[in-house]
Structure 1
Amino acid sequence: MTVNDDSFSNWKTREEIAESMIPIIGKLHRERDVTVLLHSRSLVNKSVVSILKTHRFARQIAGAELSVVETLPFLRALTTLDLGPSQIDLAMLAETYRADDRGLSVEAFTAEAVAGATGGNKIERGAGRDVVLYGFGRIGRLVARLLIEKAGSGNGLRLRAIVVRGGGERDIVKRASLLRRDSIHGQFQGTITVDEESGTILANGNAIKVIYADDPSEIDYTAYGVRDAILIDNTGKWRDRAGLSQHLRPGIDKVVLTAPGKGDVPNIVHGVNHDTVKPDERILSCASCTTNAIVPPLKAMDDEYGVLRGHVETVHSFTNDQNLLDNYHSSERRGRSAPLNMVITETGAASAVTKALPELKARITGSSIRVPVPDVSIAILNLQLARETSREEVLDHLREVSLTSPLKRQIDFTTAPDAVSSDFIGSRHASIVDAGAAKVEGDNAILYLWYDNEFGYSCQVIRVVQHVSGVEYPTFPAPAV
């Protein structure tokens, strides 16, 4: 048998194993509200090839490919346990099992590692939490996709309604079409139908009422069956407490803004300061995409090395706020054609760092350039550290943070030597450390951080909403602190 024959035979074997994993993963998700992960990447509703690619991607961050042969026994062990709602990372199970020298069986080790999600420790499945989207633009539609994707067992977040300004003929059909197809993020994964008579979009069985209103004060959400909901304002029209309080109408319990909050509105970056949200806080902000991209790596670097000062230069994809062709704009440079120019502009991300990371004493400055790509940006973080280090030490630290720390859902890591921006479309992390571009000399470190400023940010928004709604389930094995 030739090498080619061996390789193909091995591939077919792994395909068969991955195929056997799909119904197990699906059943755990539907019946027990368990999300199976691999290095923080969900395996729910993934194809055979996607599962294999996710296992192979482990070599980029862990140094070696993870085999389905190795993870399948842990997945099977999960089915024998009385699991409650949780997230379980097969890669972490496999890694910690390899490091364990007690000679336990896979079944015994798995039962011990996820004990916090079983028996008397498990979280009881709730009735779910209603969510309303105010606005249905770029972020609104991606958040909608994520909410629909995560509906799963029906016990988590439930997208009940979207609020938009009144449109013209067949408005709801056009909005459903924009949800169905996206030029950057591709086709919606599932089916979408429209009931024009009732003003409802049906997406993967989720009935989403479309409410037309020009002002928050016009709406009584309880008239649509919405109760105790979290409203996500992705219009950016109101950014202070007074403006956002207008959303606190009958049926709405909390308001989450998908833009930097002003005044005393808390700016929350999940993974960094989400645990500071007070239970009685009704209005909060998810800050900006760039703030979410730079704050987790900043925290990781400050915790290990100390940061004395820093500067962030953001090379950012163009947005709806810019013009397609030269035209009037309240900001002079943003009036120039976005697809044809690099445009110097301002960023509030650096100043927002202190809100999300108040313990960071370093002064952080920032600037930004908008460039002619429709999605994915890069932040160049130039830091003066409190002690000298080496490039190898910094990269080892950030790789470990991306794999095992509480920031592993925020920070990703790539060693791909040919990585470019389009490779990170659809990334669910807040930022991705580009190992090949990093520069470290003495007490100076320059990090290049990719981020999908649309989808990655939307994932952070969902994480914040899950946290404040009480449906953010614990991850096992627990990440190292």
Structure 2
Amino acid sequence: MKIAINGFGRIGRAILRQILTTTRGEAVEIALINDIAPLDICAYLFQYDSTFGPFPHAVTHGDGTLSVLEQKIPFRHEADLTRVDLSGVDVVLDCTGIARSSDVAQRGLAAGATKVLISGPSPAAEQTVVYGANEDQLGAARIVSNASCTTNGLAPLVKLVDEIGGIASAHMTTIHCYTNSQPMVDAPRGDFARSRAGALSMVPTTSSATHLIDEVLPHLKGRISGAAVRVPTASVSAVDLVAQLHSPVEEHRFIAALQAGCAASEVLGWTDMPLVSSDLRARPESLVLAAPEIRRVGDQQVRVFGWYDNEWGFSARMLDVARLMARP
């Protein structure tokens, strides 16, 4: 698979780290990285990461290349990707966060790449895909959204719970670490609560997963609501799902079915330990279910709690979906 990374921020850098340090199936050739920031600061931020720690190998740069592990990766600084020749590239991983219009989303195709995968929700996408939930709907789409990190954690879980007992209704709360969408000190934002300093308060807000779950699992449309609370931690978030099932279920049978579902899943993990968020940093799963937190209330209501590294796990799914898109 031959890829280009457009946008070398949190997700773009995590994707490159995974390509260089993990072996997950076929080899990945990196044809190009593009970012408007200077190469020296991009190289520095790749080598020294406050969340994941220093990259364990030398990182150098020069002559328009980023050099790491004996690879010299071409690096460009184009605001408009159509100025770059991407002939022969299977998938552009668009990690800029701005590919929301058709004009911007199609630039990778105009540059010569075969397909584009967007690292977030996008109205310009032909299909929204969550690996482990609806990847069978990918089809021949050329511009695809990888949804959001929370949707990647929620959708496979919702699909599993629905298969076990049938979901009549459910509410999800994501307890989410702060992100670049929040200021470090109070500053105006469209959302009043998100205008407050992200590292100082818990901030109740919305989650894009609320509407994306309807796109990914349309047979459950209108049955699942959701919200978010941003919390003052830098990495690892959680999904707290409370669901009313169609059928009565015994707690031990429900837990056993969840554990079996996780064992059979490529993206769901399981832990019996009483972990805290920092224990899940750099885990590649979309969601790791926490067995000590699973509850049944009455005959038909269940509560399921799971952890997800909203950067590392999401980046792993970007690569999984890109592999599917690159297949002939």
TM-score computed with the length of structure 1 as normaliser: 0.65
2-side partners of 1:177 and 1:297: how far apart? 37
Counterpart position of 1:308: 168
Contact 2:165/2:245 (CA < 8 Å) preserved in 1? yes
Q: Does 1:243 align with 2:109?
A: no
Contact 1:201/1:208 (CA < 8 Å) preserved in 2? yes
Amino acid in the other structure paired with 2:160 = A
Structure 2 counterpart of 1:456, from 313, 323, 327: 313
Structure 2 counterpart of 1:337, from 193, 197, 200: 197
1:391 Cα offset (Å) = 2.0
2-side partners of 1:152 and 1:470: how far apart? 15
**Secondary structure, counterpart of 1:355 in structure 2:** helix
Contact 1:432/1:451 (CA < 8 Å) preserved in 2? yes
Counterpart position of 1:210: 75
2-side partners of 1:150 and 1:427: how far apart? 12
Contact 1:148/1:159 (CA < 8 Å) preserved in 2? no
2-side partners of 1:216 and 1:142: how far apart? 21
Structure 2 counterpart of 1:156, from 4, 27, 42: 27
Counterpart position of 2:224: 364
1-side partners of 2:284 and 2:46: how far apart? 19
Structure 2 counterpart of 1:176, from 43, 61, 67: 43
Contact 2:99/2:124 (CA < 8 Å) preserved in 1? no
Counterpart position of 1:132: 4
Amino acid in the other structure paired with 2:82 = S
Superposed, 1:231-310 pairs within 5 Å as: 231-262=92-123, 265-278=126-139, 280-310=140-170
2-side partners of 1:361 and 1:301: how far apart? 15
Contact 2:117/2:144 (CA < 8 Å) preserved in 1? yes
Larger radius of gyration: 1
Q: What are the superposed Cα offsets for residues 431-458 of structure 1, whole Å, 9 maximum, x if unpaired? A: 0111111111210011111110010111
1:249 Cα offset (Å) = 2.4
Superposed, 1:19-58 pairs within 5 Å as: none
Structure 1 counterpart of 2:57, from 185, 190, 205: 190
1:468 Cα offset (Å) = 1.2
Q: Does 1:465 align with 2:322?
A: yes
Superposed, 1:72-91 pairs within 5 Å as: none
Structure 2 counterpart of 1:421, from 257, 277, 292: 277
Counterpart position of 1:9: none
Higher helix share: 1
1-side partners of 2:199 and 2:238: how far apart? 17
Contact 1:310/1:362 (CA < 8 Å) preserved in 2? no
1-side partners of 2:56 and 2:114: how far apart? 30
Q: Does 1:143 align with 2:15?
A: yes
TM-aligned CA distance change 1:220 to 1:361, over 3 Å: closer
TM-aligned CA distance change 1:356 to 1:216, over 3 Å: same
2-side partners of 1:306 and 1:362: how far apart? 14
TM-score computed with the length of structure 2 as normaliser: 0.94
Q: Let me know the Cα RMSD of the aligned residues.
A: 1.9
Q: Which runs of 5+ in 1 are unaligned?
A: 1-128, 472-481
Contact 2:66/2:75 (CA < 8 Å) preserved in 1? yes
Contact 1:220/1:249 (CA < 8 Å) preserved in 2? no
Structure 2 counterpart of 1:430, from 276, 286, 290: 286
1:240 Cα offset (Å) = 4.2
1:263 Cα offset (Å) = 5.8
Amino acid in the other structure paired with 2:6 = Y
Count the aligned residue pairs.
Answer: 327
Contact 2:105/2:124 (CA < 8 Å) preserved in 1? no
Contact 1:135/1:162 (CA < 8 Å) preserved in 2? yes
